[in-house]
Amino acid sequence: MQQAYVFEDARSGCVAFLVNNDGRKVIQIQFRNNAYSLRPKSIGILQNCKTLIYETAKVNVPKNMRVTTPVHTFNVPDKWEVFRETIPTFSGTSLRANTLLEHTKLTKDKTDYLWYTLRFKRDSTCTKPSLFVESSGHVVHVFVNNALAGSGHGSRDIRAVKLQVPVSLVNGQNNISILSGMVGLPDSGAYMERKSYGLTKAQISCDGTKTIDLSRSQWGYSVGLLGEKVRLHQWRNLKRVKWSNNNAGLIKNHPLTWYKTMFDAPSGDGPVGLNMESMGKGEMWVNGESIGRYWVSFLTPSGHPSQSIYHIPRAFLKPSGNLLVVLEEEGGDPLGISLNTISVVGSNQSQSQLS
């Protein structure tokens, strides 16, 4: 469990590497009549085969801390404008098929989103209806008659999305619209061309006794969101849709909503970040440049988002009049978004800006 590697000659001198392979305890090693203490799974370097000058398991660096300072909070409802996505229906689609089509063959990597739509005629015998969907994509959102009925997503361990939600159906014709979302694709591995994504099953259950398979119904398809198609995040396209002002009660917790507001850049030249912890899942842009996708509602096993602050390069910013556009997919609270400066404070240094 312990080894020594020695490099030595008369001209260059001597250097030794002492290795402790024991992963559980500190070991006292005797080497050339000297004793050395090595931590578990550690390597010690002996200068002149005598003086311990470095040990891999012992880290000697100054302690430092990253400091996030909010400099602007977007908490004034009147400063925001809102555009709600239109939920497509079967009658508004031109691409149709009597089967569930694969997601990426239709989106062709141009968008994360594909709408599956159909018309379902309910009769009086279907009581307590619920909708079951299964998808090999990453996210699904179910809308019935333009109202969100439920959402689901997979994970690293559970790849298939399975969602069963009670739905409110009217007697007669109902519009069912299911949004399938992706969060990137594998970039390596065998048989990538055989992988498929998107909806694989859809069923209506009536009172838990009768099941109606919708998979072979006539489906209508719509690729992407309206805001994406008109490139709503860019200055020149803002007027292509009708934005509205909302008070605090109407601005929060709406799925598939675009938000826009203006802000001034913080003084200085240090790093700037957006804290998106109050939101759910979506994407944000500053002055037409994507700051990235966020998914703060998807928590780690410790119960926290893996990331909530997103860097805005200073090169994207003007001193004043910067445009922030946010697409919220699930429903969040934009009044909780904040603009932050980032710095580090070290034990042996004064506060300095991160580079």
Domain residues for the domain of 179 are 90-224
Question: The pTM is what?
Answer: 0.80
Radius of gyration of the chain (CA): 29
Does 60 fall in a domain? no
Domain match, 214 and 269 both? no
Strands (E), 238-321: 244-245, 257-263, 272-275, 281-286, 289-295, 309-312
Q: Which of 188, 206, 224 is at the close of a domain?
A: 224
Residue in 171, 167, 169 with CA at minimum distance from that of residue 124? 171
3-state secondary structure of 250: helix
- Beta-bridge mates of residue 72: 339
**Each residue of 326-351: pLDDT tens digit?**
999 999 999 999 999 999 887 555 44
C-alpha to C-alpha distance for 282 and 296, rounded to whole angstroms? 9
Q: Is residue 192 part of a domain?
A: yes
d(CA 185, CA 194) in angstroms, rounded, equals 13
> Picking from 115-119, 251-255, 294-298, which range would have the lowest pLDDT averaged per residue?
251-255
Last residue of one domain, picked from the residues 177, 195, 224: 224
228 DSSP 8-state letter: H
With 70 as the cut, is the pLDDT of residue 248 above it? no
Predicted confidence at residue 347, as pLDDT, reads 55
SS3 80: coil
Is residue 159 very low, low, confident or very high in pLDDT (cuts 50, 70, 90)? Answer: confident
| Tokens read off for 69 | 């300072």
Q: Are residues 80 and 105 in the same domain?
A: no
Residue 61 resides in a domain:
no
Q: Per-residue pLDDT for 246 more than 90?
A: no
Name the domain count of the chain.
3
Q: Is residue 290 within 8 Å of 231, Cβ to Cβ?
A: no
Once rounded to an integer, what is the mean pLDDT over residues 246-251? 64
Q: Which amino acid is at 209?
A: T
**Mean pLDDT, residues 236-264 taken together:** 88
Pair (332, 244) in one structural domain:
yes
Residues 256 and 189 in one domain: no
Distance CA(191)–CA(77), nearest Å, equals 50
Question: Average pLDDT, stretch 102-118?
Answer: 96
